Amino acid sequence: MTWSVTELVAWQSEVEAYADRRGKFDWLEIPPIASATAIQDAYHTIARTRHPDLFVGRIEPEVMDRLVRMYSRVTAAYADLKEPERCAAYLRELRGPRAATTPPPLHGQAPLARRLGATLPPMRSEISSHRPGTPATATTARIERFAPPPPTRPAPTTAPPPSPPAPVPVPAPPPAPTPRQVPGEIDPAHAMNARALAYYRRAEGAQHTGDRAVALLHIKMAIAADPRSTFLRAALAELSRP
Amino acid sequence: MPFAVGIDLGTTNSVVAVATPTGVEFALGPLGERVHPSVVAFPPTGGVVVGTEAKARRATEPDTTVYSAKRLIGQNIKSPLVQLALTGLPFRVDEGPNQQPIIVMRDRRLTVPEVSAQVLGHLKRCAERQLGDRVTQAVITVPANFSDAQRQATKEAGRLAGLDVLRLINEPTAAALAYGFGQRKQEVVCVFDFGGGTFDVSLLVIKDEVFEVLATDGDFFLGGDDIDRAIAEFLAAEMNRHQHVDPRADNQLMTRLVLAAEEIKMHLSAASSAEGVIDGLMRGGQEVKLPFRLTRAQLEGMVRGFVDRSIELTRRALTAARLDPRDISEVVCVGGTTRVPLVRQRLAELFGREPALRINPDEVVAQGAAIQAGSLAGSLFHGRGMATRDAVPTHAMSPLAHGDVPWASAVAPARPILLDVTPAGLRIATAGGFSEEILERNLPTPIERTRTFTTARDHQTQVVIDCCRGESKRFEENELLGRLVLEGLPPRRRGDVRIDVTFRVDQDGILHVRARDADTGIEQETALEVLGAPVAA
Residue A107 has pLDDT above 60, yes or no: no
Whether B525 is catalytic is no
Closest CA to B197 of B403, B11, B453, B414: B11
Q: How far apart are the first and last CA of chain A?
A: 34
Contacts of B455 in chain A (CB under 8 A): 142-144
- What pLDDT, on the 0 to 100 scale, is given for residue A160? 37
Q: Taking CB atoms and an 8 Å limit, are A76 and B507 in contact across chains?
A: no
Is B235 a domain residue? yes
Q: What is the CATH number of the domain that holds A21?
A: 1.10.287
What are the phi and psi torsion angles at B202 (to 5°)? -130, 145
Closest CA to B7 of B180, B228, B161, B204: B161
A171: nearest CB among B447, B450, B494: B494
pLDDT band at B125 (very low <50, low <70, confident <90, very high): very high
Whether residues B294 and B380 fall in one domain: no
Mean pLDDT over residues B421-440, rounded?
Answer: 92
Residue A134 has pLDDT above 80, yes or no: no
Instruction: Tell whether A227 is within 8 A of chain B (Cβ).
Output: no
- What pLDDT, on the 0 to 100 scale, is given for residue A114? 39
Instruction: Tell whether A163 is within 8 A of chain B (Cβ).
Output: no
Q: What is the CATH number of the domain that holds B9?
A: 3.30.420.40
**Boundary-marking domain end, from B259, B284, B301:** B301
Q: Write out the residue range of the structural domain in which residue B278 sits.
A: 224-301
Candidate list B70, B124, B185, B265, residue with the active-site label: B70
Whether residues B8 and B127 fall in one domain: yes
Q: Taking CB atoms and an 8 Å limit, are A147 and B456 in contact across chains?
A: yes
Residue B2 has pLDDT above 80, yes or no: no
Candidate list B114, B156, B193, B363, residue with the active-site label: B193
Closest CA to B392 of B94, B36, B109, B130: B130
Q: Taking CB atoms and an 8 Å limit, are B452 and A175 in contact across chains?
A: no
For B14-34, what is each residue's pLDDT tens digit?
A: 999 998 877 788 888 888 888
pLDDT band at B97 (very low <50, low <70, confident <90, very high): confident
A48: nearest CB among B210, B464, B498: B210
- What pLDDT, on the 0 to 100 scale, is given for residue B144? 94
- What pLDDT, on the 0 to 100 scale, is given for residue B528? 63
For B200-254, what is each residue's pLDDT tens digit?
A: 999 999 998 899 999 999 998 899 999 999 999 999 999 989 888 888 888 888 8
Whether residues B28 and B157 fall in one domain: yes
B450: nearest CB among A53, A129, A155: A129
Is B199 a domain residue? no
Whether residues B366 and B469 fall in one domain: no
Calculate what percentage of chain B has a pLDDT beyond 90.
54
- What pLDDT, on the 0 to 100 scale, is given for residue A132? 38
Whether residues B399 and B505 fall in one domain: no
Longest CA–CA span in chain B (Å) reads: 77
What are the DSSP E strand ranges found in B51-100? 65-66, 92-95
Closest CA to B295 of B263, B268, B262, B277: B268
Contacts of B450 in chain A (CB under 8 A): 128-129
Distance between CA atoms of B367 and B377, rounded to whole angstroms? 15
Which is higher by pLDDT, A142 or A213?
A213
Distance between CA atoms of B25 and B2, rounded to whole angstroms? 15
- In terms of phi and psi (left: phi > 0; alpha: psi -120 to 50; beta: otherwise), the region of B369 is alpha
Residue B39 has pLDDT above 90, yes or no: yes
**Boundary-marking domain end, from B261, B276, B301:** B301
Whether residues B437 and B385 fall in one domain: no
Q: Taking CB atoms and an 8 Å limit, are A52 and B432 in contact across chains?
A: no
**Boundary-marking domain end, from B368, B400, B418:** B418
**Boundary-marking domain end, from A59, A80, A95:** A95
Residue B7 has pLDDT above 90, yes or no: yes
Distance between CA atoms of A238 and A109, rounded to whole angstroms? 18
Q: For the residues of B234-277, what is the DSSP string, one character each? A: HHHHHHHHHH---GGG-HHHHHHHHHHHHHHHHHHHHSSEEEEE
Q: Taking CB atoms and an 8 Å limit, are A147 and B431 in contact across chains?
A: yes
ipTM confidence score: 0.87
Is B219 a domain residue? no
Q: B451: Cβ–Cβ under 8 A, 6 or more apart, which residues?
A: A129, A130, A136, A138, A141, B436, B438, B500, B501
A22: amino acid identity, one letter: R
Whether B70 is catalytic is yes
Q: What is the CATH number of the domain that holds B503?
A: 2.60.34.10
Q: 3-class SS at B499? A: strand
Looking at the 3D structure of chain A, how many domains does it have?
2
Whether B164 is catalytic is no
- What pLDDT, on the 0 to 100 scale, is given for residue B400? 52
For B273-290, what is each residue's pLDDT tens digit?
A: 999 999 888 877 788 889
Residue A135 has pLDDT above 60, yes or no: no
Whether residues B20 and B57 fall in one domain: yes
Which is higher by pLDDT, A174 or B270?
B270
Number of alpha helices (DSSP H) and beta strands (DSSP E) in chain A: 10, 1
Q: Taking CB atoms and an 8 Å limit, are B446 and A156 in contact across chains?
A: no
For A30-42, what is each residue's pLDDT tens digit?
A: 998 888 999 999 9
- Among A200-209, B172-181, B497-506, the range scoring the smallest mean pLDDT is A200-209
- What pLDDT, on the 0 to 100 scale, is given for residue A118? 36
Q: 3-class SS at B26? A: strand
Q: Taking CB atoms and an 8 Å limit, are B455 and A138 in contact across chains?
A: no
pLDDT band at B120 (very low <50, low <70, confident <90, very high): very high
Is A36 a domain residue? yes
Instruction: Tell whether A75 is within 8 A of chain B (Cβ).
Output: yes
Looking at the 3D structure of chain B, how many domains does it have?
3
- What pLDDT, on the 0 to 100 scale, is given for residue A81? 94
Contacts of A43 in chain B (CB under 8 A): 444
Instruction: Tell whether A16 is within 8 A of chain B (Cβ).
Output: no
The dihedral built from the CA positions of residue A177, A117, A234 and A189, taken in this order, carries a sign that is negative
The alpha carbon of B195 is separated from its chain's Cα centroid by a whole number of angstroms, namely: 9
Contacts of A139 in chain B (CB under 8 A): 452, 454, 495
Mean pLDDT over residues B62-87, rounded?
Answer: 88
**Boundary-marking domain end, from A80, A95, A110:** A95
Whether residues B392 and B519 fall in one domain: no
DSSP-H helix ranges across B292-403: 296-320, 341-351, 364-377, 399-402
Burial of B48 (0-12, 13-18, 19+ CB in 10 A): middle
Distance between CA atoms of B418 and B204, rounded to whole angstroms? 10
Q: Taking CB atoms and an 8 Å limit, are B429 and A143 in contact across chains?
A: yes
Is B218 a domain residue? no
Q: 3-class SS at B414? A: coil
- What pLDDT, on the 0 to 100 scale, is given for residue B284? 75
Q: What is the CATH number of the domain that holds B289?
A: 3.90.640.10
Contacts of A138 in chain B (CB under 8 A): 451-454, 498
- What pLDDT, on the 0 to 100 scale, is given for residue B537? 38
Is A195 a domain residue? yes
pLDDT band at B88 (very low <50, low <70, confident <90, very high): confident
Whether residues B431 and B380 fall in one domain: no
What chain B residue is nearest to A168 in terms of C-alpha separation? Answer: B457
Is B341 a domain residue? no
Give a three-class secondary structure readout of B376-406. Answer: HHCCCCCCHHHCHHHCCCCCCCCHHHHCCCC
For B311-346, what is each residue's pLDDT tens digit?
A: 999 999 999 999 999 999 999 999 999 999 999 999
Q: For the residues of A52-96, what is the DSSP string, one character each? A: GGGGTTTS-HHHHHHHHHHHHHHHHHHHHHTSHHHHHHHHHHHH-
> Parallel, antiparallel, or unpaired: how do β-strands B92-95 and B101-105 relate?
antiparallel
- What pLDDT, on the 0 to 100 scale, is given for residue A97? 58
Is A55 a domain residue? yes
Is B440 a domain residue? yes
Answer whether B205's CB lies under 8 Å from B188's CB.
Answer: yes
Count of A–B CB contacts within 8 Å? 144
Whole-number average pLDDT of chain B: 87
pLDDT band at B3 (very low <50, low <70, confident <90, very high): confident
Q: Taking CB atoms and an 8 Å limit, are B417 and A136 in contact across chains?
A: no
Residue B392 has pLDDT above 50, yes or no: no
Is A164 a domain residue? no
Q: B513: Cβ–Cβ under 8 A, 6 or more apart, which residues?
A: B465, B467, B484, B501, B502, B503, B504, B525, B526, B528
Instruction: Tell whether A73 is within 8 A of chain B (Cβ).
Output: yes
Q: Taking CB atoms and an 8 Å limit, are B465 and A143 in contact across chains?
A: yes
- What pLDDT, on the 0 to 100 scale, is given for residue A201? 83
Whether residues B11 and B143 fall in one domain: yes
Mean pLDDT over residues A100-122, rounded?
Answer: 37
Whether B471 is catalytic is no
Burial of B213 (0-12, 13-18, 19+ CB in 10 A): buried
**Boundary-marking domain end, from A45, A71, A95:** A95
Whether residues B414 and B430 fall in one domain: no
Whether residues B452 and B386 fall in one domain: no
Q: Write out the residue range of the structural domain in which residue A73 sits.
A: 1-95
Contacts of B425 in chain A (CB under 8 A): none
